[in-house]
């Protein structure tokens, strides 16, 4: 007789094949699709999301999950079963009609946003967003009731299992006590230094070539992935075929280059998830926070460090030649510039947490029903002024319309960026202790030992352990924000 | 109560949404996917083909089809029901296991072929092909038994409903009586003329720009489609988002340009299928032969005509400048050069039918069990020698391994190329009679009237009529190969 576990295994393998199609069609929609394809694509993806919801929440699956609990399973299978149960419980709560409505409303809002953002059209955007918020609240309510937690916590748990707004309030509350002062100090300090903006234009094909070379240095497997362009950089696709994107600006190349380094961090995690378990939930990346820890370890811990910048500098010169603003010491300084600005994805690591905390506070209030969509711009403006001293009044494009996340209902995701930054600092510090030669290795462009350490401590484990356990195994303790503070003070003071 | 027809309507709409994902993932596999993504992609597409097979062949669908026959339906709904029935019957014959096995074997064979063709590896390829042939024969046998026709005819009907090998034997038999002599005469005649091969290299980005401009002239809607690169040019995607591909060679630009014109013919048909019926079978292109008639009308009837070449010539000069071999009269002659060669997709319109007849004869014998895969190379060599005077011994790459069609079991498809050439000649002749100013319009680059005629007579009808009826409505008679002969003699003698 086939065991219940085996039946679950086959069902989740099947779901993963449909997930593959969804991932590729989703990447295509962002990176390739012409505008008139949008409506049909949304409908196709919504149809698929209904189908996978049906498969995952079939009555049998619930029964098999119960039966499998009594079967002889090894540790990995136990972990897989735990993840299966989590997926099942998360999905079984939602009626199919809500899944379909959310998928359609999200796709509509996202696709319109691509145009509305360009034209600063908050009026048009907010209409679509209201529908998305309405459906997300319904989802949050159902999840909250089932788990006996708050609406926002129920969403947060989707992206960062085990995380709560209570913990976040502590973590972010702590940040708020020291980060604004540190930011202020560093901004003042940097005012005394000379930085020269390198003179453009920077040919876009050359920027692409630079990105590809840096990806090569960072171990990206080009036989199992691609680099393309999209409005909002992301890492998509499937572990066997990881699709990362960036965007180019002729006047400035660092933003695209750093975007590529960031997404390559995500990509290497995906490309190195446990191969023998692909298709099973236990092979998935642990959480969005852990995912972001990899991209930020690549971009911030490694990418903006002087040893790494030294090793990348010759590639930059190879593409763009020596020109004003491209001498080595200025290049270093440019990549460690602290300058509060409008755009989260372009933010330096000192201002980034402020962007996240602002969004966290707004989306939490929105999901808990304390504010409405119409309240967002004023709140945004007030908090941007308060946290970063920046005026965004009337500038929706570079204000509350800059992110893709809310367009398809990804409420609860933003905190994972700053959690990721904290995990990254803790992991990189530990890796440096474990590999005494690491700083020299990096200057020489030899990242083998670092990648081996990440492979052994993070990548190969997929979702085998909880985040707490994973961090404990890797660093000896669970999340400790002191590493992040030490990193920032060490680099910028 | 919901009518049976409405239930069918919704079921086919759902199938079409899954078809959308399959089309985009298929395009991606050919145009974007890195090699290590292949295995997972094949599995995902096979899973989807099993799913759509299940949905289409559900017992209920058969019952609804019976009930709907007794419901009040208008003409279009009747036509839609006829097409639904055809799809159902074609699918219901096949066991799910065969559908899955065929999909997997086809994907495996096609993906390996991409590499094996380059290395001329017939040994490796034939192993995979044997599995595909075995499964295709099983499919053909099931279809043949159900329809009471021969195995090959049963496959042919999938691509060209109503066509039989008996009819093809007559059509192709007739061609064989006059085409070899005509080919010989034209080759001799052209030997006395001077043609200069334009001097490369032709920058690939410039070739791409030229292709995009020609697509623009030909009315391609770039908001609903793209041009990309693949090993084997094709037109894929969905009517709302048509993906065409070509391939580039730095030494020669005409092949890519003509490939683009060809695929644009397919694309305009797809982009102009009846919008209000999209998602229903009646909105599909009528048949592969009719599809090919549009691409060949664009490429051969229009594209290789002197009036059109005159109108395109300035675009060519704009990209590549005046250089040897690019004076206008030589440019005309290059596009009407008749020169039997190895490669079907690069063949002129006089040698093309020989490529098709050769494949038709081989694949028919293969499906009927008269020959085996191991017999293909010798047969191929003999027929190439006989029909085109070309020696392909040992050259599998440019011989029997050049096409993608057999790799995934597309037996019965090849004849539609020459049927398309015949339909195209008949349609273009009729359009010229209907639009007396057409030749002048074309020189001036004004293709409005031609496209209007195609829209009214072919594109807007989808699968509403049978091919015979469509041709009769458009041209006053069913397929008449005399138009093709008159066209070739008129252009080349």
Please check whether residues B292 and B370 belong to one and the same domain: yes
Please check whether residues B456 and B323 belong to one and the same domain: yes
Q: Rounded to a whole number, what is the largest CA-CA distance in chain B?
A: 75
Judge: A17–B47 Cβ closer than 8 Å, yes or no.
Answer: yes
Report pLDDT for B103: 87
Please check whether residues B273 and B400 belong to one and the same domain: yes
Distance from CA of B223 to the nearest CA of A (A): 5
Three-state secondary structure call for residue A484:
helix
How far does chain B reach from its first CA to its final CA, in angstroms?
Answer: 65
Report pLDDT for B100: 87
Q: Which residue of B has its CA nearest to A222?
A: B34
Q: What Rg, from alpha-carbon coordinates, does chain B have?
A: 22
Burial of A37 (0-12, 13-18, 19+ CB in 10 A): buried
Q: Which residue of A has its CA nearest to B205?
A: A205
Number of Cβ within 10 Å of residue B436's Cβ equals: 10
pLDDT band (50, 70, 90) for residue B231: confident
Tell me the angle at which helices A288-296 and A467-475 cross, rounded to the nearest 10 degrees.
40
Active-site annotation of A, residues? 263
| Stretch B468-481: mean pLDDT | 97
Report pLDDT for A345: 86
Find chain A residues with C-beta within 8 A of B225's C-beta. 34
Domain span holding position A479: 160-493
Q: CA A296 to CA B9: how far, in whole Å?
A: 49
User: Contact at 8 Å (CB) between A186 and A492?
Assistant: yes
How far does chain A reach from its first CA to its final CA, in angstroms?
Answer: 65
pLDDT over threshold 90, residue B388: yes
User: Contact at 8 Å (CB) between A251 and A202?
Assistant: yes
pLDDT band (50, 70, 90) for residue B111: confident
Report pLDDT for A54: 95
Which pTM was predicted?
0.93
Helix (H) or strand (E) holding A228, with range, is strand A225-229
Token pair listed for B394: 């040992």
Find chain A residues with C-beta within 8 A of B226's C-beta. 32, 34
Interface test with B, best of A37, A41, A278 (most B CBs within 10 A): A37
What 8-state DSSP symbol labels residue A198? P
Q: Among partner residues A24, A35, A221, which is closest to B25 by beta-carbon distance?
A: A24
Judge: A17–B240 Cβ closer than 8 Å, yes or no.
Answer: no
Judge: A24–B20 Cβ closer than 8 Å, yes or no.
Answer: no
Task: For residue A380, give the CATH number of its domain.
Answer: 1.10.1370.30
Tell me the angle at which helices A352-367 and A415-434 cross, rounded to the nearest 10 degrees.
140
Q: CA A397 to CA A409: how far, in whole Å?
A: 18
| Stretch B449-455: mean pLDDT | 98
Size of interface A-B (CB pairs under 8 A): 100
Distance from CA of A226 to the nearest CA of B (A): 7
B148 touches chain A (CB under 8 A): no
Active-site annotation of B, residues? 263
* Helix and strand element counts for chain A (H, E): 20, 3
Q: Which residue of B has its CA nearest to A55?
A: B51
pLDDT band (50, 70, 90) for residue B262: very high
Find chain B residues with C-beta within 8 A of A18's C-beta. 44, 47-48
Please check whether residues A143 and A240 belong to one and the same domain: no
Find chain A residues with C-beta within 8 A of B280's C-beta. none
Single residue among A91, A125, A159 that ends a domain in this structure = A159
Residues 6+ apart with CB under 8 A from A59: none
Pick from A48, A70, A88, A59: which is nearest to A4 by CA?
Answer: A70
Q: Which residue of A has its CA nearest to B32?
A: A226
B238 touches chain A (CB under 8 A): yes
pLDDT over threshold 80, residue B223: yes
Please check whether residues B183 and B118 belong to one and the same domain: no
Find chain A residues with C-beta within 8 A of B35's C-beta. 223-224
| Stretch B385-407: mean pLDDT | 94
Q: Which residue of A has its CA nearest to B14?
A: A47
Judge: A225–B34 Cβ closer than 8 Å, yes or no.
Answer: yes
What 8-state DSSP symbol labels residue B279? T
Q: Among partner residues A21, A37, A224, which is closest to B25 by beta-carbon distance?
A: A21
Judge: A223–B43 Cβ closer than 8 Å, yes or no.
Answer: no
Judge: B223–A35 Cβ closer than 8 Å, yes or no.
Answer: yes
Find chain B residues with C-beta within 8 A of A39's C-beta. 240
Please check whether residues B173 and B216 belong to one and the same domain: yes
User: Contact at 8 Å (CB) between A198 and A206?
Assistant: no
Single residue among B135, B159, B183 that ends a domain in this structure = B159
Judge: A241–B37 Cβ closer than 8 Å, yes or no.
Answer: yes
Buried b (16+ CB within 10 A) or exposed e, A406-432: bbbbbbbbbbbbbbbbbbbbbbbbbbb
Question: What residue has token string 């966290």?
Answer: A360
Interface test with A, best of B37, B203, B205 (most A CBs within 10 A): B37
Token pair listed for A329: 């010491």
Residues of chain A with pLDDT under 70: none
Please check whether residues B302 and B169 belong to one and the same domain: yes
Report pLDDT for A1: 73
Judge: A44–B20 Cβ closer than 8 Å, yes or no.
Answer: yes
Please check whether residues B113 and B250 belong to one and the same domain: no
Report pLDDT for B232: 84
B206 touches chain A (CB under 8 A): no
DSSP A282-335: GGS-S-HHHHHHHHHIIIIIIITSHHHHHHHHHHHHHHH-S-TT-SHHHHHHHH
Report pLDDT for A100: 87
B226 touches chain A (CB under 8 A): yes
Three-state secondary structure call for residue A227:
strand
Please calculate the CA angle A369-A371-A377 and round it to the nearest 5 degrees: 145
Q: List B242's β-bridge partners, or say none.
A: B225, B237
Please check whether residues A247 and A193 belong to one and the same domain: yes
Q: What Rg, from alpha-carbon coordinates, does chain A have?
A: 22
Please check whether residues A27 and A150 belong to one and the same domain: yes
Burial of B491 (0-12, 13-18, 19+ CB in 10 A): middle
Please check whether residues B229 and B326 belong to one and the same domain: yes
Q: Among partner residues B28, B36, B47, which is closest to A28 by beta-carbon distance?
A: B28
The structural domain count of chain B equals: 2
Helix (H) or strand (E) holding B475, with range, is helix B467-475
Helix (H) or strand (E) holding A243, with range, is strand A241-246
A178 touches chain B (CB under 8 A): no
Q: CA B379 to CA B400: how far, in whole Å?
A: 9
Please check whether residues B117 and B170 belong to one and the same domain: no
User: Contact at 8 Å (CB) between B414 and B358?
Assistant: no
Three-state secondary structure call for residue A336:
coil
Q: Among partner residues A21, A221, A278, which is closest to B48 by beta-carbon distance?
A: A21
Report pLDDT for A240: 98
Single residue among B134, B159, B184 that ends a domain in this structure = B159
């Amino acid at each position: 007789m086939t065991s219940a576990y085996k039946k679950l295994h086959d069902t989740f393998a099947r779901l993963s094949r449909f997930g593959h199609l969804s991932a590729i069609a989703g990447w295509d929609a962002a990176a390739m699709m012409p505008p008139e394809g949008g409506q049909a694509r949304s409908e196709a993806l919504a149809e698929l999301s209904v189908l996978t919801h049906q498969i995952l929440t079939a009555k049998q699956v619930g029964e098999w999950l119960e039966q499998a609990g009594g079967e002889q399973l090894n540790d990995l299978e136990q972990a897989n079963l735990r993840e299966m149960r989590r997926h099942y419980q998360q999905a079984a709560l939602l009626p199919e009609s809500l899944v379909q409505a959310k998928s359609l409303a999200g796709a509509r809002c996202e696709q319109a946003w691509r145009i509305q953002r360009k034209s600063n059209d908050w009026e048009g955007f907010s209409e679509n967003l209201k529908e998305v918020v309405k459906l997300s609240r319904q989802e949050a309510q159902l999840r909250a009731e089932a788990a006996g937690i708050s609406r926002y916590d129920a969403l947060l748990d989707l992206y960062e299992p085990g995380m709560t707004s209570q913990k976040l309030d502590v973590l972010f509350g702590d940040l708020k006590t020291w980060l604004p002062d540190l930011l202020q100090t560093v901004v003042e300090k940097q005012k005394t230094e000379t930085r020269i903006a390198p003179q453009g234009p920077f040919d876009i094909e050359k920027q692409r070539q630079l990105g590809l070379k840096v990806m090569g240095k960072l171990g990206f497997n080009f036989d199992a992935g691609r680099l393309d362009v999209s409005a909002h950089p992301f890492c998509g696709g499937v572990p066997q075929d990881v699709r990362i994107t960036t965007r180019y600006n002729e006047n400035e190349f660092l933003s695209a280059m750093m975007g590529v380094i960031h997404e390559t961090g995500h990509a290497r995690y995906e490309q190195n998830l446990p191969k023998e378990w692909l298709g099973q939930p236990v092979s998935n990346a642990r959480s969005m926070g852990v995912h972001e820890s990899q991209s930020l370890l690549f971009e911030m811990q490694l990418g903006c460090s002087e040893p790494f910048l030294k090793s990348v500098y010759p590639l930059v010169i190879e593409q763009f030649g020596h020109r004003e603003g491209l001498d080595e010491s200025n290049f270093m300084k440019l990549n460690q510039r602290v300058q509060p600005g409008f755009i989260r994805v372009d933010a330096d690591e000192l201002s980034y947490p402020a962007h996240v905390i602002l969004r966290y506070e707004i989306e939490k209030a929105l999901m808990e029903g304390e504010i409405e969509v119409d309240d967002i711009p004023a709140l945004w403006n007030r908090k941007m002024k308060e946290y970063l001293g920046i005026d965004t009044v009337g500038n929706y494009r570079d204000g509350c319309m800059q992110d893709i996340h809310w367009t398809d209902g990804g409420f609860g995701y933003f905190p994972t960026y700053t959690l990721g930054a904290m995990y990254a600092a803790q992991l990189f510090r530990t890796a440096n202790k474990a590999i005494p030669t690491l700083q020299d290795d990096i200057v020489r462009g030899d990242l083998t030992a670092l990648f081996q350490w990440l492979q052994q401590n993070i990548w190969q484990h997929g979702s085998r352990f909880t985040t707490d356990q994973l961090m404990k195994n890797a660093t000896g303790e669970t999340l400790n924000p002191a590493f992040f503070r030490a990193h920032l003070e060490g680099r910028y003071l």
